[in-house]
Structure 1
Amino acid sequence: MAFSQSLHKSQIPINCHLCDIEKNIKWKCLECELLMCDNCKIKRHPRIKNSINHKVIDIKDIGLLSEELDFTNIKCRDHPGQTCCFFCKSCNSLVCPTCESKVHKKHDLIEIRDAYNIKKDKLKTGQRKIETNKDEVLTKKGHLEKLKNSEYAKYTRVMRNIKNQEESLKQAVEKHIEKIRNEVDQDRKTVMQSIDADLDTISRSMQQSDEKNTEIEDLINSTNSAKFFHEVGRIENSIDVPAPKTKSTYKSIPDFVPGEIYQSNVGVLQSKNSPLELSVSLNINKQYQTELSHVSDIIPCLYDKSIFMNSNLDAQLMRGNYVGNNLRISSLNIKVYGMALTDDNDILLATGKSRIQQLSTNTGKITDTVYDISPLISTTVHVTSNNKVIIGAVNSEVQYKVIVMNTKGEYETVYGHNHHNQPMFNYPQSITSTDNGNIHVVDYYPGSDRGRVTVLGQGGGIINTYTGHTEINKDIPFKPTRIVTTPRDNVIVADMDIHTLHILDNNGQLLTCYKTKEIGILCPFSLAFTQKGQLLIGCTRPKGSTTKEAKIYEVNISEC
């Protein structure tokens, strides 16, 4: 079929390979690789040596060739005289009877056709993955090109702002310099006027003194005694010349003290990462309706088609087995605050007690574990990729902690107070971890005004806090419920009040938000990923509702 499609598209006529005349090709010999017309198939092809054993097929069936491959005549590479009869799954190779008797006696042997189908399915899966990866790479390429253009535009804007600041600073400096120059000029005038006034006073006083001195000198040198006695009394009464009255201090021209130029006055560069904008899309694959008030937690099992869910409002823990598009439910009356899946496909339960319990998915029995946090009690539980157990805990004084334990139940790290001895948590509701070692805690006390996601580093402190989207949560505060790590090591947080998923990177920085209401998913509460990468969303009932019809959605999610 692939060949015929190619032939149709190219419109290039092909003659029969045997007569080289007839263009109406009907047959193909798989051994000779010859294309033939009806006449040559009947008359000429049989003349070829051993052609009686050749397989000739209709060209319309070329696309179906894989279904009719001959697996009965594959020669063994190790024993040329033998024909392969089985495929050894243990050794991943074809085997003949001799191979089987000598090497593969107790190995897992299957029919060659079955092995072929398994391998073919695996290759097709690989092809689909390649195509998916290619689409994702193309999408990422588009985002990177968009980011590159954005950064070029940002560069132009930043350089323009720097230039504008340069001009503004120049103008401001010139204006200020002109101002202080004028002030100095004015101060000079004032100071000089003050000094000149006193100099004038002194000059007049000196002139008076000179005149008085001359008058006295003339009287002393007078030879007219009558005139002397007639004038001497007047001169004696006015002989004192008052000292000139001048200021005791004078205003001085101010000195110029150069000011410091700081970065804050000129401007500084603030660096921040530009996370690649995600173009997340969600498509509903399946949906199920439960008889729960809400789905507090949801966990898909590793090795069978079943999920565990709980509703702490209804104090019920349920197991659902997929039957078509329905869930066959079995339930257990127990109040659970948090669940986590172990590598052994068992489920850890935080039941509000000091010791974490374990539910066997095989037997359904609940037993105690080594994870004991006495005298505290548990609020939630999480298992990391390296099998450490992280527990949300509270003590009798209503102080909340997050405790990291190893597989032996020994404490490794306890998060409770920061470096200023202030509490780090209000109520750890849900916990997840990422490959970079960070722990992400949904910190929200039920009924409070708002919540947050607190990101804990391996050093024992808080490295980031996410309090919601500035626009989306502007009118309705961020009240997170559950959190999960994605296959790409990002995290998704459910915000049920605004029907939104917040997607953060593994350091708690916002990447994007997705409004689930746009695809009909209301009040998302709990989250989990299946082994195949689908996202499970467990919902709750709207505020004020008393129904028990909480839904579970299985969605395909991309770019996350």
Structure 2
Amino acid sequence: MDPSTSAQDVLRCDLCETAVVHMHCDTCLVNLCTACVGKHMISDESKEHKVVKYQVKKSTPLYPGCTTHSKERCEMYCKQCVMPVCNTCIASDQHLGHKFITILQILDEQKNKISKENIELRETIYPTYQDIASDVQNRMSQLEKEYGDLSTAITKHGEDWHREIDKLVKKLKAEADEMKNTQLRTLQTHLNEIKKTMSDIKDEIDAVNATINSNDLSKLFGVKFNVDRYKTLPEKIVPASLKFMPGKIQEKEFHDMYGILTISSLTSDEHYYSTKFSPPEPETVTTIDTEYEDLLNVACLSDEEIWTSGGDSSMKLYSINQGSLLKLIKTKSGNWPFDIAVTKTGDLVYTDYDDRTVNIVKKKKIKELIRLQNWRPRGICSTFSGDLLVIMYSDYANQTKVVRYSGSTESQTIQFDDKGKPLYSFGLYDRYITENRNLDICVSDDGAKMVVVVNQAGKLRFRYTGHTPAPKNKPFRPLGITTDSQSRILTADYYNDCVLIIDQDGQFLRYIDCGLSRPWGLCTDTNDNLFVAQFNHKQVKKIKYLK
């Protein structure tokens, strides 16, 4: 309802506060009656008042005030300084030689930008937070239920213990009663024997008294005494003394016996919510030219430097920003390194397939870390804990396994699933390895044309076999593999000239193209920039694929 025509709620003039509003000043944002227009126009002569009919208010642009000249309005826009400017600003030396456009020329562009961000807030970000709030509420409800179940379980366990203790008490009392009754029966028998003897003695005494009181001499001389028989007293029976020795209750041991509370820890990936936000289009930030005929591998030393290797014995360190060669190291054996990685301490490690060794470079000196027997190393990565993971083949390439090393000591072998079947394919195919933020071990298995992911204990989580349609509709051929800060897994798809991204559970997310040609080795830096070694082009591309 138009407030200027409403009989129930008439809009009054901001100046006189009595007359009905008919006009509006777009400059001062005040409502006016016809009589007050003139008064308002002369109230502040420093301003250019834009008075329009109330029905078309806000039709006049309200230009921003100048931050340098307080009484000026900015009707122009400086392209070099990327800021609104007033006429006084334009005339000043600060913007000398700069290019200007009217601020209205960028108005639609700014509105479109704001509109897009508003749409993203309304349709993507806000619903995502709604989902997060719902998830938190669900977790709270689940927590209430889980702790209710926990309390019930503790109570039930206590009732079970009470029943067991009652049974034990009843059993011990029954055993005590049985032992008491047995000893009472023994003593009663003994008492009966004593009373029988006492009766016999009394009979003897009565017989002797009768004889003594008699004048019959033949009886007196015929008395036979049994005194000696009664002088041997009966054996003294002392019942066994039964005592209850209660077990000592040690509080800690008692608690451990009864049960303890444990809490499961969250893996790193569970600390983050997945978003619905649209990812930005990937863009190539820079390109580093190398001199390899066949460029194979890339590994980040830092956000400014990368190691590379290819089809010769050299390993080269390049400046990312300058593209210049900083260092060149050659393998000890003269063989080309199959794979390279940077350790947690910043040292370069590489695998020498033909020499059966894993080597480390420290201050330009190469030291042999591991020498294998009957096996040959291929892919290698350094873990978050500082261990090394090496994927290796048997001499006849009929077995493949992953081995974890702490220093030079083998600490874990991953080769078979729970059913005893091989996790990885056989044969002389390329295979690379990396560790995810959730400590999963991810292997790109070119022989099986899949990515194989196991957890830290070596238990199979999933196998990923590619996504259709692929950019070039060619078979999935995974080579280099890496992960990012959100536990996404990235692998080079050699035949389709792209990098494929899946989440930590093996769900396809998207492809990265950026004009790639025969991508091979991959790595990411601490800012989630992706580095791609292109096999034929002798180039490493740095690609920004996240916001």
Q: Tell me the TM-score normalized by structure 1.
A: 0.50
CA deviation digits over 1:342-376, x for unaligned, max 9? 433x4223789999731356887654179x99xxx
Distance 1:248 1:284, change over 3 A: same
Does residue 152 of structure 2 align to residue 160 of structure 1? yes
Matched to 1:340, the amino acid is: C
Distance 1:525 1:353, change over 3 A: closer
CA contact (8 A) 1:84 1:97 kept: no
Matches within 5 A, 1:402-481: 429-431=380-382, 443-447=389-393, 481=433
CA contact (8 A) 1:347 1:360 kept: yes
CA contact (8 A) 2:307 2:315 kept: yes
In structure 1, the gaps of 5 or more residues are 1-29, 32-53, 55-64, 287-299, 309-317, 320-329, 410-415, 417-425, 433-437, 542-547
CA contact (8 A) 2:343 2:349 kept: no
Query: CA separation in 2, counterparts of 1:529 and 1:111?
Result: 46
Aligned to 1:358: 317
Query: CA separation in 2, counterparts of 1:85 and 1:283?
Result: 35
SS at match of 2:442: strand
Residue among 353, 367, 389 paired with 2:346: 389
Aligned to 1:255: 244
Residue among 276, 280, 285 paired with 1:303: 285
Query: CA separation in 1, counterparts of 2:385 and 2:318?
Result: 24
Aligned to 2:442: 494
Aligned to 1:368: 327
Deviation, structure 1 residue 175: 2.2
SS at match of 1:264: helix
Matched to 2:93, the amino acid is: K
Q: Tell me the TM-score normalized by structure 2.
A: 0.51
Deviation, structure 1 residue 102: 1.0
CA deviation digits over 1:467-526, x for unaligned, max 9? 99xxx97777878922456xxxx777535579568799xxx999x978644845967664
CA contact (8 A) 1:527 1:536 kept: yes
Aligned to 1:343: 303
Query: CA separation in 2, counterparts of 1:156 and 1:117?
Result: 58
CA contact (8 A) 1:282 1:556 kept: no
Does residue 130 of structure 2 align to residue 138 of structure 1? yes
Distance 1:165 1:193, change over 3 A: same
Query: CA separation in 1, counterparts of 2:307 and 2:112?
Result: 35
Deviation, structure 1 residue 193: 1.3
CA deviation digits over 1:418-453, x for unaligned, max 9? xxxxxxxx9993247xxxxx6576735435887599
Aligned to 1:87: 78
Query: CA separation in 1, counterparts of 2:359 and 2:210?
Result: 111
Deviation, structure 1 residue 241: 3.6
Deviation, structure 1 residue 199: 2.5
Aligned to 1:191: 183
Deviation, structure 1 residue 205: 3.5
Matches within 5 A, 1:58-207: 78=69, 87-90=78-81, 92-94=83-85, 99=90, 102-105=93-96, 123=114, 126-127=117-118, 130=121, 132-207=124-199
Aligned to 2:40: none
Query: CA separation in 2, counterparts of 1:495 and 1:282?
Result: 28
Deviation, structure 1 residue 156: 2.5
CA contact (8 A) 2:492 2:498 kept: yes
CA contact (8 A) 2:187 2:237 kept: no
SS at match of 1:332: coil
Aligned to 1:42: none
Does residue 256 of structure 2 align to residue 264 of structure 1? yes
Does residue 491 of structure 2 align to residue 538 of structure 1? yes
Query: CA separation in 1, counterparts of 2:439 and 2:127?
Result: 22
SS at match of 1:175: helix
Aligned to 1:11: none
Matched to 1:204, the amino acid is: K
Distance 1:125 1:515, change over 3 A: farther
CA contact (8 A) 1:500 1:524 kept: yes
Distance 1:199 1:240, change over 3 A: same
Aligned to 1:333: 294
CA contact (8 A) 1:88 1:104 kept: no
Q: Give the count of matched residue pairs.
A: 410
CA contact (8 A) 1:481 1:525 kept: no
Deviation, structure 1 residue 341: 6.4
Deviation, structure 1 residue 189: 0.7
Matched to 1:253, the amino acid is: L
CA contact (8 A) 1:284 1:553 kept: no
Distance 1:263 1:190, change over 3 A: same
Deviation, structure 1 residue 270: 1.9
Deviation, structure 1 residue 128: 6.3
Query: CA separation in 1, counterparts of 2:320 and 2:162?
Result: 75
CA contact (8 A) 2:343 2:382 kept: no
Aligned to 1:24: none
Distance 1:186 1:355, change over 3 A: farther
Aligned to 1:553: 500
Query: CA separation in 2, counterparts of 1:144 and 1:509?
Result: 30
Query: CA separation in 2, counterparts of 1:492 and 1:258?
Result: 48
Query: CA separation in 1, counterparts of 2:418 and 2:85?
Result: 61
SS at match of 1:165: helix
Distance 1:162 1:256, change over 3 A: same
Residue among 415, 434, 437 paired with 1:482: 434
Distance 1:272 1:96, change over 3 A: same
Matched to 2:380, the amino acid is: Q
CA deviation digits over 1:33-84, x for unaligned, max 9? xxxxxxxxxxxxxxxxxxxxx9xxxxxxxxxx9xxx999x999974989986
CA contact (8 A) 1:444 1:451 kept: yes
Identity of aligned residues (%): 11
Q: CA RMSD in A?
A: 6.8
In structure 2, the gaps of 5 or more residues are 1-25, 28-49, 51-58, 370-376, 394-398, 425-431, 471-475, 502-508, 512-544
SS at match of 1:143: helix
Matched to 1:538, the amino acid is: T
Query: CA separation in 1, counterparts of 2:339 and 2:244?
Result: 70
CA deviation digits over 1:244-266, x for unaligned, max 9? 65476643334252563722343
CA contact (8 A) 1:358 1:369 kept: yes
Query: CA separation in 1, counterparts of 2:480 and 2:434?
Result: 5
SS at match of 1:188: helix
